Structure formats: C-alpha cells, structure tokens
C-alpha cells in the first residue's frame, strides 16, 4: 500500500476556508474520451494554487451508471474507471497537499446506484431476506400487489416506488427511491448499512481525505415503523415539519448517525470535517453543523436571495447568529452543480428569479437575461461574502464569470430532473466542461471533445482569455483570494449604517478590513481608508452601482 500524505495544521482550518467545487467529469479530460478525469484535475493543481483556494471538493467520482450525474454510486470505495484509478486518486491528493490544498469528497448515503452489489443481491434474494432489508422493499397493495405501497412522489418524477421482477420471473415487491429509480434508498435502520458507511469514511480518511460533503443529509432516517410509509406530493421545505418529527426528512434521530461519524472524524489529526447538504427549515440547520455532528451545513439562503441590500443584510445576520449559537462557522454559496450559475441569475428580472423553472422553459429565456448586469452583481456578491466571517464555497467556472450555457439541445441533456419533472430546470448547463483555452478542441478541456456541448462564446471566457488581463473576473478572484489570506481575522463584523442610502451594505471586521457593496443604481462615496480592491473602477472616490470594494481602515 502507498504511503499516504496527511496535511497537518490547525484543527479549525476549515472555519474560514475557501473551498472550490470540482465536478470531475467536466473539469479537465486528460485522455481525450470527452470525460473529465483525475489526471486532468491533477494537471490543473498549479492553476488551483495560483487561484488561491484552501480546499477543493470533488463531486462523486465513483463507479456509476450516471443515472444522476454520478450521484448514483455503485461502489463507495472505488473510482469510476472512466475517471481514473485509486492510485491516480492518491497522486491527486498528494499533489494537492503538496500545494497546501485540502480535499473534500462527496458522500452519498441516502441511496446507492441500482448497480451496487448490495442492490443486485437484494434483487436476487427473497422478500424479507437480510439482503432486501438494506433497502426499503415493500409489498404492493391490491389483489396482486400491483398498486404502489404509498402515494409518495420522487424528486425526479411522479412516484418514488418501482416494482421489481422476482428471480422466478413474477411481478414482485416495490422499492423506495426519493430520486431516480436507479437510486434505491438505503434502510438506515439496518446496522450493516450504518457500519458500511463508517468503513467508507475510514477508507478515505486513512488515505488522507480532509473532509466530506454529505449529500441530502436530512433524508437518511425515515419513519418506517409498524408498517408506516411516508406519503407526500411535494418536496418543498414548507411542507416539512420543523420539530424533528416529520416522517420523511430532518428527523431528530438522523443526528445519532452523524454523532457516530464525528467520533470517527475525531480519531484523525487534524480531525476530519464535514459539510451537510440539508434542505431544512432555517431553524433546524444548526443541528447538522454542531461540533458533535458534521460541523458545517450549507447556508443555501443566498441562492434564492434577489439583489437587494435589505434582504442580503437580514440573511447574513440570520446566518451569523445561527453559526454563533452552534459554535460552527457559516458557509456561503452562490453556485454549485445543481443551480443556474449566479452570473445568469443576477441578470434576471425578479419575476423570473421567483419562478426559475417557468423562466427556463420559456421560449424567450435568453432575452430576459442582462448578462453584463448579472456579471457585475455576481462579482460584487462574491466579493461581499468573501469578506464575511465563515467559509465560502465556489463552483468551478464562476472564477471566469461564466454565464449558464443555455444552448444544449434536449436530446443531449443528461439530467434526470429535466426528463422526469416538467416543473424543473435542467442542471446540465452549469455542468458544461470548463473552457481553458480560446480555441481548440473543447476549448482546452481535452483533446477529444466534450460530453456536453460547449457554446461558441466559451473561448472568450476561457482561462487563457482572462489570464493576466487586468479587470478580468479571473484576475479579480485571484487578487481577492490572495488579499483575503492576509486579511482573515476574528469571526465578527460590525455593520456601519447608511441612513441616507438603504442600498449600501457596509461592514468592518475587527482588524479594520472594510467591505462596501452598492446594491443601488447610482455611484456612492466610499469611506476613508486604503482601497484594496474593487469589482468596478472607483472614480473620484465613488463606487459604481452593482459593485463591491474592500478597504483597510
Ligand atoms: C443532491 C445533489 C444532486 C443529486 C441529489 C441526489 O441534491 O447535489 O446533484 O441529484 O442529491 O443524490
Ligand atoms: Ca477522460
């Protein structure tokens, strides 16, 4: 076995870290098969170092049939051969660590792929067998069991139940899947399931992985006692109970699982860390972030917040208070592999933002985007959160100011959400492979094309086109992350009120690091101090509309 490299350092390195999310299939393709791979990512470590991120988070790279972009995992302790090998993973980890960059990986515990050996074994075994008990198999209703066991929709379609054919060829039991039918839900009341995830976590922690992003962390424990089965027509958080007794999501018992994971994390030096993807009521999020649990939980609130000073202010205050109460730190995020890129979102009128699926499926969707405005606001918003206490999660390509590619023909789309759910956006746009060069095969993504089509304009937004260009979004991110390293200070801020202008957010960190954001449409006078960086040209001491500046008092 290889010697694994551990990156030592303070146990709280994550509290104000900048974490960069990589969607492995779309980052860099080294062997030219059109799919991004681990060697490709390794070749970009110098880029990541120059960008100045503290850690990367890799979306799933496990063996998968790609029914849901890799979130259908067939083997939790291996690598998809199209993406690489375990040895290549070790090389990537070592290369990152040598550059001082830590690594988070994605853990998908709610469901596996239907190709997972346990699910295949369950299909071959009899109803009531230990193999079936690792998943949620039930008999159907009706004379011949032909009616699904409960009225439960899935995230990607009208039902969360699929009927199997028994080994003897007869129509058989049904299994539950909150997502695609290729993603059967695990039964977390089963001890073998619990033990296996501990094994997985040790497997990667022993290899030197620093942290974990926990997929749908609020869904694992369901109320299945005494023949009960959850029924639901909507996954909107508003229909979820907020007291820990909902029969499907965010049950109090889920935290017993995370407490057991925490014990494992704390066996390592520095302790491993985790961040929960938990779409729960705001008052419940803190539990996932507790020091006895995962440690952090994504603050998704800014994903839906329109460009409005008052709304940003109250969201920020709420998050800071919540983090303070649990001893965790906040996690800011504007973009990831599931949402429309924020440079596009901020260019939409508020009415479109309020109903993104409707906007996405309308014929004139492109016409509604003010791209220039969207980018200006996205840059300003990111600079704002980078100055806040807490950690920030960035998504590959946002450092280039990329807009959402909207030209993917329906037949080339891959996202199950698009095909199975009329009321949804397709998440393929934000997963279109990175443009590295102005021209050439797949704009430098790889020598053999790209698994999702890239738009023609990608070249002009490539790394090559922005590298060293003053004012480019790439150079702005590089400068901001570099400056930030020297500025990060105690996790506190003081708001400075501008009674005369409600469109300005202005705060100061304990060391005098000052951030001013102009949400309005007229330039505003900046306070006294040394101007460190601004997202737009400051003329005559004035900050333009839709811009952020950092100053040092
Ligand atoms: C999470 C992932 C998403 C995936 C889903 C099911 O929400 O971010 O991409 O489709 O879980 O695993
Ligand atoms: Ca490849």
Spell out the residues 6+ positions from residue 361 whose beta carbon is closer than 8 angstroms to its own: none
C-alpha torsion 415→419→422→424, nearest 10: 0
- Residue 337 Cα to ligand 1 middle (Å): 9
Roughly how many angstroms between the first and final C-alpha of the chain, as a whole number?
53
Predicted pLDDT at 4? 64
For ligand 1, is residue 298 a contact (CB within 6 Å)? Answer: no
Neighbours of ion ligand 2 (CB under 5 A): 29, 31, 33, 35, 37
C-alpha torsion 117→121→124→130, nearest 10: -160
* Residue 157, pLDDT above cutoff 90: no
For ligand 1, is residue 338 a contact (CB within 6 Å)? Answer: yes
Using one digit for the tens of pLDDT, what is the confidence trace for 401-438?
Answer: 999 999 999 999 999 999 877 788 999 999 999 999 99
> Which residue minimizes the CA distance to atom 6 of ligand 1?
71
Q: For the chain, what's the residue count?
A: 553
Angle between helices 473-487 and 371-386 (to 10 degrees): 10
Which of 423, 421, 432, 503 minimizes the C-alpha distance to 462? 432
Using one digit for the tens of pLDDT, what is the confidence trace for 446-499?
Answer: 999 999 999 999 999 999 999 999 999 999 999 999 999 999 999 999 999 887
For ligand 1, is residue 493 a contact (CB within 6 Å)? Answer: no
Bridge partners for 178 per DSSP:
none
Using one digit for the tens of pLDDT, what is the confidence trace for 165-180?
Answer: 999 999 999 999 999 9
Predicted pLDDT at 283? 86
> Which residue minimizes the CA distance to atom 9 of ligand 1?
338
> Which residue minimizes the CA distance to atom 5 of ligand 1?
71
Predicted pLDDT at 57? 98
Q: Interior CA angle at 379 toward 465 and 308, to 5°?
A: 155
- Residue 128 Cα to ligand 1 middle (Å): 29
For ligand 1, is residue 68 a contact (CB within 6 Å)? Answer: yes
C-alpha torsion 171→172→176→180, nearest 10: -30
Which of 333, 328, 320, 325 minimizes the C-alpha distance to 492? 320
What does the pLDDT average to over 361-385?
A: 97
Percentage, residues of the chain above pLDDT 70? 99
Residues 413, 285: Cα–Cα separation, whole Å: 33
Predicted pLDDT at 498? 82
For ligand 1, is residue 182 a contact (CB within 6 Å)? Answer: no
Predicted pLDDT at 3? 59
**Buried residues in 412-421 as b, exposed as e (16+ CB within 10 A):** ebbbbbbebb
Spell out the residues 6+ positions from residue 479 whose beta carbon is closer than 8 angstroms to its own: 533
* Residue 125, pLDDT above cutoff 90: yes
Q: What is the mean pLDDT of the chain?
A: 96
171-176 vs 161-165, strand pairing mode: antiparallel
Could you say which ligand is closest to the alpha carbon of residue 449?
2
* Residue 1, pLDDT above cutoff 50: no
For ligand 1, is residue 71 a contact (CB within 6 Å)? Answer: yes
- Residue 28 Cα to ligand 2 middle (Å): 8
- Residue 37 Cα to ligand 2 middle (Å): 5
Spell out the residues 6+ positions from residue 382 whose beta carbon is closer than 8 angstroms to its own: 334, 342, 392, 394, 398, 477, 480
> Which residue minimizes the CA distance to atom 12 of ligand 1?
71
User: What is the SS3 assignment for 81?
Assistant: coil
Which tokens hold the place of 188? 């977390």
What does the pLDDT average to over 315-342?
A: 93
Residues 304, 342: Cα–Cα separation, whole Å: 10
- Residue 336 Cα to ligand 2 middle (Å): 22
Spatial contact of 246 and 252, defined as CB atoms under 8 Å apart: no
* Residue 52, pLDDT above cutoff 50: yes
For ligand 1, is residue 215 a contact (CB within 6 Å)? Answer: yes
Indicate the top mutation candidate among 22, 23, 68 to test ligand 1's pocket, ranked by most ligand atoms within 8 A of CB: 68
Using one digit for the tens of pLDDT, what is the confidence trace for 105-122?
Answer: 999 999 999 999 999 999
Domains, in order of start, for the chain: 18-111+191-477 (3.20.20.80), 117-176 (3.90.400.10), 490-552 (2.60.40.1180)
Using one digit for the tens of pLDDT, what is the confidence trace for 133-155?
Answer: 999 999 999 999 999 999 999 99
Place of tokens 């400051």: 538
- Please tell me what DSSP assigns to residue 454: P
Could you say which ligand is closest to the alpha carbon of residue 424?
1
The confidence band for 374, taking pLDDT boundaries of 50, 70 and 90, is very high
What atom in ligand 1 is closest to the CA of residue 416? Answer: 10
Which carries the bigger pLDDT value, residue 10 or residue 267?
Answer: 267
For ligand 1, is residue 131 a contact (CB within 6 Å)? Answer: no
Beta strands in 115-210 (DSSP E): 137-138, 161-165, 171-176
């Amino acid at each position: 076995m290889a010697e694994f490299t551990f990156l030592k350092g303070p146990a709280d390195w994550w509290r104000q870290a900048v974490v960069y999310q990589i969607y492995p299939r779309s980052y860099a393709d080294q062997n030219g098969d059109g799919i991004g791979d681990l060697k490709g990512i390794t070749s970009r470590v110098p880029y990541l170092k120059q960008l100045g991120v503290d850690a990367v988070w890799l979306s799933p790279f496990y063996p998968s049939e790609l029914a849901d972009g890799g979130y259908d995992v067939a083997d939790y302790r291996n690598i998809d051969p199209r993406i690489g090998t375990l040895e290549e993973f070790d090389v990537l980890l070592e290369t990152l660590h040598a550059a001082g960059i830590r690594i988070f990986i994605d853990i998908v515990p709610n469901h596996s792929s239907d190709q997972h050996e346990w699910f295949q074994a369950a299909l071959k075994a009899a109803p009531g067998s230990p193999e079936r008990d690792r998943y949620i198999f039930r008999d159907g209703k009706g004379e011949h069991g032909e009616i699904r066991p409960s009225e439960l929709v899935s995230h990607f379609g009208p039902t969360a139940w699929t009927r199997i054919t028994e080994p003897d060829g007869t129509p058989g039991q049904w299994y539950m899947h909150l997502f695609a039918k290729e993603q059967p839900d695990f039964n977390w009341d089963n001890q073998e399931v619990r033990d296996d995830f501990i094994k997985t976590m040790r497997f990667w922690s022993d290899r030197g992985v620093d942290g974990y992003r926990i997929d749908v962390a609020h869904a694992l424990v369901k109320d299945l006692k005494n023949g009960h089965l959850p029924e639901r027509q909507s996954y909107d958080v508003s229909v979820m109970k907020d007291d820990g007794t909902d029969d499907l999501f965010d049950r109090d018992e889920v935290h017993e699982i995370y407490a057991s994971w925490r014990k494992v994390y704390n066996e390592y030096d520095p302790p491993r860390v985790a961040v929960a993807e938990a779409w729960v009521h705001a008052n419940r999020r803190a539990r996932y972030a507790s020091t006895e649990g995962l440690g952090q939980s994504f603050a998704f609130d800014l994903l839906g917040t329109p460009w409005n000073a008052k709304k940003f202010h109250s969201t920020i205050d709420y998050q800071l208070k919540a983090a303070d109460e649990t001893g965790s730190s906040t996690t800011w995020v504007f973009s990831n592999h599931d949402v429309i890129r924020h440079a596009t979102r901020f260019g939409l009128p508020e009415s479109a933002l309020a109903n993104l699926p409707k906007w996405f499926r309308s014929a004139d969707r492109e016409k509604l985007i003010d791209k220039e405005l969207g980018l200006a606001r996205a840059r300003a918003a990111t600079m704002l959160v980078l100055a806040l206490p807490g950690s920030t999660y960035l998504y590959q390509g946002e450092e280039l100011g990329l807009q959402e590619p909207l030209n993917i023909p329906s037949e080339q789309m891959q996202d199950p959400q698009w095909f199975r759910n009329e009321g949804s956006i397709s998440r393929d746009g934000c997963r279109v492979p990175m443009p590295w060069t102005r021209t050439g095969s797949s704009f430098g993504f790889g020598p053999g094309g790209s698994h999702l089509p890239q738009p023609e304009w990608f070249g002009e937004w490539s790394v090559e086109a922005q590298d060293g260009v003053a004012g480019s979004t790439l150079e702005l991110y590089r400068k901001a992350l570099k400056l930030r390293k020297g500025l990060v200070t105690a996790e506190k801020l003081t708001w400075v009120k501008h009674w005369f202008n409600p469109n300005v957010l202005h705060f100061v960190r304990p060391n005098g690091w000052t951030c001013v954001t102009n949400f309005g449409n007229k330039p505003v006078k900046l306070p006294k101090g040394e101007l460190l960086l601004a997202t737009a040209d400051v003329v005559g001491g004035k900050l333009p509309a839709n811009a952020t500046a950092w100053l040092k008092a």
